[in-house]
Each structure stands twice: as C-alpha cells, then as structure tokens.
Chain A
C-alpha cells in the first residue's frame, strides 16, 4: 500500500496546530520537532509493517503520545501553554486534556486561529503567505521557495524571521479579539495572494502550482466553517477562487499551450466548481458590504455564464470594473477595464482607455499590458504595432507557456522575414 500523496504535508498543519496549543505558540519549534519525529517514527514502523488503513489517525495518535511524553518529562511545566499548566501537572488530567486538544473539531478551530496568528501585521504580506504555507499547509522551506519562485536560502531566512514573530506570543489569535475584523481582511488578502501566486502560472508544465490554488481554496473554505469568519467577504472570496479555478482545465490546450479566455474550450470548464462558486456568490450577497472580492467574483460569474465568448455580457463586465476601479484604483484594474471596454465598444475605444491609464509606467514591466496593447492593435489591423507590443510582452513573460502563446501571436501578425544576404560562393 502506498502513502497517499501529500499525507504528511496535510497532516503536518493539523499536528503543529494541536501541539502549539499544548506547548504554547512560543514553543513552535518544539512542536515542529515533535511533528518531524512523529513522521520519521511512523515511516520506520510502516517500512516493515506496511502502511495502516488509516494513516492519518495513526500519525495523530503518534503525535499525541509524543506530546504526552514531552509533558511528563518536563517537571517544570513552564514550557507549556500557561492556561493548561495545571491540567498537565496531574496524571489524571494530563491525558484527557491532551486528547481533547487533538479532537478533530478542536483542531479545526485552532487551525483557523493559527491562520489569523500567521497574518500578524508586523509581517509583510509575502511573509504571511509563506508562513501559512509552511506552518498550516506543511510545505517545506524549499517547497515554499518554489511556490514563490524564490531562492531556498532567502526563503529559509524569511521563514525563520516570520516564525520568530509568530512565536513571540504565547497564544493563538483569539477570534474574540477586538482586532478581529482587521485581521480577517489580512487573512482574506493572504489567501487571495496565495491563489494568485498559483493561478498566474497554473499550467500543465508547472502542475505543482495548481496545488497553491487548491490550498488557497481549502483555507478560504475554512473561513466559512466558523460563524465569526463566515462573512459576506469570505463567501465572495470563496466564490472568486472557485469560479477562477473552474477555468484551470481549459487554460492550456492539448500541447500544453496557454489559451486566453477568448480561445478556451468552455466545455472543459469544471462544472462542479462553477456551481459551487455560484452558490458562494449567492450567499455573499446577503452582506451589506461590497468588497473587491464581491466584484471580482461577479466578473468571473459573468464570464462563466457565457457558454460562448460572443455571448459574454461585456457591458455588465465593464460596469463591474467601474466599481472595482473605485474600490481598488490600480493600473492593473484599469488595464482589465480597458480590455472589457474594447470587447464592448471595439478595439479603438479600448486603446483610448489604455492610453488614459494615468500611471501606466507602473505597467511597463507587466507582460499582460503589452499583450493587451498588441491584441487591440492586431484587432484593428495595425499588425506592425501589434507585433512590436507582442515582442515587448514576450521579453517580459514569466514562463514558457506564456512565451509560446506570445510567439503564436507574433507569428499571426506576419513575422518579418529578416533579409539575409546571399553568401557569395
């Protein structure tokens, strides 16, 4: 019998959470050691005995027993969570208390609290996301580095610093804290960033990146499991992630090449994810607040509603982007709005809007900006201008699938055949 893929990664987050609850958040390093030890012991036994029917339960039981061992050995109960010290001092209450903290529903709530702890405002957003991936999703430092396309050493350093901040408090974040609302939006932001990190390059050749999307979806759904965090914005965030994730199977063609929203075979969109996304969106509307997540999810839902690209409600999408631009006035939003306007009113209007983006120099390094310029020039027949823009985008593209996509576009604009002198023989 094989160990199911990512068993350790998944269980690690649950185990670390339960153990930090027991030892105190300031003993995060101890918790991580116990988890590593539990994994290695499990594998030593499974090596000879074979993998048990319920490996997750086996791992949790091992971690629990190791925790009890550690607590028994510590005569001075200083190292554990202060509110539990007394319960750990007596053998009568030690085991039931530890068992209680390993209860699946308790772990679930504590994982949510851990997610809030990771989004400490003293940490940069990147560090928050890295910490969530590492502590809650069980990604090793090198896996986190790969997720961010960053170097291993740099990520290790970042994680060490972040963990120091995390373990500077004894307790997991209390959802009744008065900073809750502020922290909740930081958590939502982190999940959104995590998803984008994966989605931007979730292509066939970078299959691991799809995992980031999956983790983000799992974490976002965890917000819905608790009455305090199940806000309209959380539902909207879930809707947004699910509606986007539904398109992943259609984003590349059989050859592994990236397809734009216009060229995708929409029958390959994941119907179950779309349906779930729509349900989340409906529930998000009960709140009186409108967040960026609401608007972005609404845009995704409008795309999803069109079975063919020609059926897209572009006017509806433009009005969504108008709202989004008010909520988040960034050049990238303005760029997407201009593309929608081009769809609704023609390429020349789109180009007008693109020129009107005030701080477009901030888009200079953004390949999609140049690709959009190229696309609109191509549509109005200015092939030379289009080719130049596509070439600029090509130079900035982040992965091979993007580059191939742009190469095809350049070719469609009629590549100039360079004049090579005939060698004199």
Chain B
C-alpha cells in the first residue's frame, strides 16, 4: 500500500444551506466509504479560498486567488491505495465532479 494525496480543485459551493447540506451529505458518504474500506489515512482539511502568494527573488507578496477559481485547491485528503491507478480509480466516487471540480491525485514520495 502506498500513500496518495487528493487535492480538491474548484467545484462550486452550495448556493443555499439546503444545497450545501446535500453536497456535504454526499461527501460524508464518500469519505466514509474510503474509511470503511481501509483507504483513509487522514481526512485532511478544507482550505479558505483567499490567500497570499510569495514569489520570486524579491519575495514579492501578492493576494490570491492565484489563477481561475476552478484551479483553487479547496482541501485535501490523505489516502492509501495499491498504486496510482488504484488511487485514481477510488477518486472517481468524489462528489466534486457534480459541481464542476476535479481531484488531483498525487503519490506521496516514498523514501
């Protein structure tokens, strides 16, 4: 088993509490599934949309967002899977796709 990080990019938030609640419920179901099948290492954290970017030799600080909102990382989760293909396959269940977002699957570098 190897470890992978899911980076959640984009995906519209709910427009109303009712809609947000439905979205939340779907996420809860999906993450629970990963947990039940022993794939979960760390549920991770949601991230604020705002932020700052520090860049270049001059260490110039600018305000985020960095690019288009569809690229913003909204959160991450640490999972374990057989290999990258397996990890990507598991990510297919993520509800983010219903809201126009994507999951970036990145293997954690092993020593």
Contacts and interface: CB of A to CB of B under 8 A. Distances in A.
Interface stretch (A47-55, A198-206, A404-412): A47-55
Nearest to B44: A48
B59 to A, nearest CB: 28
Given A48-B31, A48-B75, A3 B20 contact: no
A36 B27 contact: no
Which of B14, B24, B27, B74: most chain A CB closer than 10 A?
B24
Contact of A140 (B14, B16, B74): B16
A420 interface: no
A165 B46 CA distance: 40
A49 B45 contact: yes
A69 to B, nearest CB: 13
A8 B17 contact: yes
Contacts of B27: 47-48
Interface residues of A, number: 17
A1 B24 CA distance: 11
A43 B17 contact: yes
Nearest to A9: B17
B21 interface: yes
Interface in A48-101: 48-51
A195 to B, nearest CB: 25
B107 to A, nearest CB: 21
B20 to A, nearest CB: 4
B20 A49 contact: no
A355 interface: no
A31 to B, nearest CB: 15
A3 B45 CA distance: 19
A45 B28 CA distance: 11
Contact of A45 (B18, B21, B23, B46): B46
B75 A43 contact: no
Contacts of B44: 48
A2 interface: yes
A266 B25 CA distance: 40
Contacts of B75: 47-48
Interface string B1-32: 00000000000011011101101110110010
Contact of A48 (B13, B14, B21, B45): B45
Contact of B46 (A3, A36, A48, A51): A48
A50 B44 CA distance: 11
A43 B23 contact: yes
A48 B16 CA distance: 18
Contacts of A46: 24, 28
A40 interface: yes
B73 to A, nearest CB: 12
A44 interface: yes
A3 B25 CA distance: 8
Nearest to B96: A47
Given A1-B28, A47-B27, A48-B77, A39 B43 contact: no
Given A44-B13, A48-B27, A3 B21 contact: yes
Contact of A40 (B14, B31, B43): B14
Contact of B18 (A2, A44, A48, A140): A140
Interface in A1-32: 1-3, 8
Contacts of A1: 28
A38 to B, nearest CB: 9
Interface string A228-243: 0000000000000000
Contacts of B28: 1-2, 46-47, 50-51
Contacts of A50: 28, 31, 43
Interface string B41-65: 0011110000000000000000000
Contacts of A45: 46
A40 B46 contact: no
B45 A43 contact: no
Nearest to A39: B17
A229 B28 CA distance: 44
B45 A40 contact: no
A8 B18 CA distance: 9
Closest 8 CB pairs of A and B: A43-B20, A39-B17, A47-B27, A43-B24, A47-B24, A8-B17, A44-B46, A48-B46
10 contacts: A1-B28, A3-B21, A40-B20, A43-B20, A43-B23, A47-B75, A48-B75, A50-B31, A51-B28, A140-B18
Given A3-B24, A43-B14, A44-B20, 14 more contacts: A1-B28, A2-B28, A8-B17, A36-B16, A40-B14, A43-B20, A43-B21, A43-B23, A44-B74, A47-B24, A47-B28, A48-B31, A48-B45, A49-B46
Interface of B: 13-14, 16-18, 20-21, 23-25, 27-28, 31, 43-46, 74-75, 77
Interface of A: 1-3, 8, 36, 39-40, 43-51, 140
